[in-house]
Amino acid sequence: MIFDPMYFVFMIPGLIFMLWAQHRVKSSYGKYSKVANDARLTGAQTARRVLDNAGLQNVAIEQIPGELTDHYDPRSKKPGLSTGVAQQPSVAALAIVAHEIGHALQDNQGYAPLKLRGAIVPAVTVSSWVAPLLFFAGLLLGLTELAWVGVILFGASVLFALVTLPVEFDASRRALRLLQ
């Protein structure tokens, strides 16, 4: 079996960054999901009001299972709100809803970076689950090239996350305006 420590030089920074970001999101959600919003509106009620005010009455809101599974699907043109967000009248629910509605506004206005992200999602989805398999198979079988392919595919997932940051920042910027 061939082991090259350079594998980890490329993988560890991305893993640390992803774990840090995940921790920040979960801890903020945990803190602010316990704080009621002044309007006492649930996430679903807020989403409907904001969409209607933005002229997007035709956009349906979907409730989905899980925690922090909230997303906007540009294919179906629907924001998906996790059960807790959809049903809670919390500050966290308002923030998450506004962010996802920010994506709906991006889509409605033809925001180019959102289109680009949507175009590369299928490739990144496949590479994110194939990368660890190839990496560990390469290590176990002693195939250095295969392990490097896994590292490169993992790097593509990290690069995707970095490329999508402008989309996420823009959705959050729009969300702040919506909440004001």
pLDDT of residue 81: 97
Q: Provide Rg for the chain, Cα atoms.
A: 19
Position 3 confidence tier, pLDDT thresholds 50, 70, 90? low
pTM of the model: 0.76
What is the three-class DSSP state of 6? Answer: helix
Dist. CA 50–CA 52, nearest whole Å: 5
Residues annotated as catalytic (active site), given as ranges: 100
pLDDT of residue 52: 93
Pairwise pLDDT comparison (90 vs 160), residue with the higher score: 90
